[in-house]
Structure 1
């Protein structure tokens, strides 16, 4: 099969398209014929081993832990393990498939779910990591309720476009922060107010928010807290740029320390691969609450070019690789 592999840490140029063996599946796994895979900031972190501290946290010390890159995928089940129930060959699925930048990927059976019938494979591949992160940040960690004032920093990005829609669906009044070219997009997906960061710093405004979801990490903690209500919640979701030693880990640890001394809730957004979240997202998609925003697609051979675009931090929604 064709696959994008990485033998060492580095920029997108280290990626190669090669012929390699099909993944072997275990009794609790499925083999997925990948039709589309999404690119995430997660992927360039894995590609570069960045921040450096992440290499001590399971990314790999001297070389990438996973030879074939990618995590988000949508496709058809090709084969199932002996213990798998509820899935069979031919089923259309989406979810978390390590090694997704390939024609075939192995996935744990409980990490993929049936693809919503109304989505293309490209749209479905754009859902897992970004939409689950947004759901967790807005619904679970932020505990957003009807009437809340919610601000999403990075509202036009992968997580941000989902977060705006989810917060609006919960009855919040949403303010999205984005660049000039994305103002209309952010309004169209449910933001009541939009702050153009090229013109105005949202932390300088007189407005105060019950919940801030920060997907960018470009404002100091003290300024973010200034934009919160006295008992508001700040949800930190990564940020940073390539080439950092600690990246977003430093600001997150600082927030953990400060949280013990203030009335505001300063929270780190945890990462996980959760079947229940995939099913909840499926429900939101099927009832029309949630729609994936796909910026552009690249063929598998051009995955490195797609990652360069994601690294620049200006994608409108999700960037997707088409495989077959």
Structure 2
């Protein structure tokens, strides 16, 4: 059985080329489709030149990746009719990022020279790698996955969402265009040197960023994050500051309400060991929802507390240290 090589032409059509110096080259008019376990196949409508024999469908197995130009790539596995190491590069753009999937749009040209646009959807989970870069893990089944590395700088946008921007040349207009991806989620603090952005907790779509020790004050929480990029020798520093106010709720715990333009965006819930100082302030040794310390303390004036907080202050005056459980609050 003869060997063939596969490539993709500038119009995102699959090209079949027989091995050898005089190998025949056939352009297959059709579309790519994503199947179970994010497998890729190409559904053929016709071949160019007209009349050439062509399969109805080509199944393509390999490893997914994202190149520096943010094109979607598949490095093919070795099988009977296919040479090992061929890389198929789909030229297009990422048009949407969802809690468990990524949508990639590509343009193709039909046999009659008209063009059309369609999209491929890959399923998986969002993660941060050891360099604090954004990753998408493409689900391959049986706890296996391929990793798409977003080798660029992410930012904090409006309402404290994570924003990722990249520039790419438009193939038709030949000019660079900026593409913006917005990740919907909420922030949480679970560990001493980790800041988490939760997209979908149930599936594990969470960006866990390694950080320095957090700074906790009466009106803000601040973290420093370093992002390592392949094209830069030094880390790119990111400062993340959440502005808001602290509250105590009996049934929930110690809460920091994040605000944007005086509007509540979200809240982060903490547990804490609390004690009253001689300065008439309260020191909280912060804990997560598992009652484990997050490595930071917070000192607050008694004047900032609401009615439930005032009740808690009276409890502190009546005894020694009190414990607040995140998600459970405290008893009186």
TM-score (norm 2): 0.22
Question: 1 or 2, which has the higher helix percentage?
Answer: 1
Question: 1 or 2, which has the higher strand percentage?
Answer: 2
Flag the structure with more relative contact order, 1 or 2, with Cα contacts below 8 A and sequence separation at least 6.
1
TM-score (norm 1): 0.23
Flag the structure with larger Rg: 2
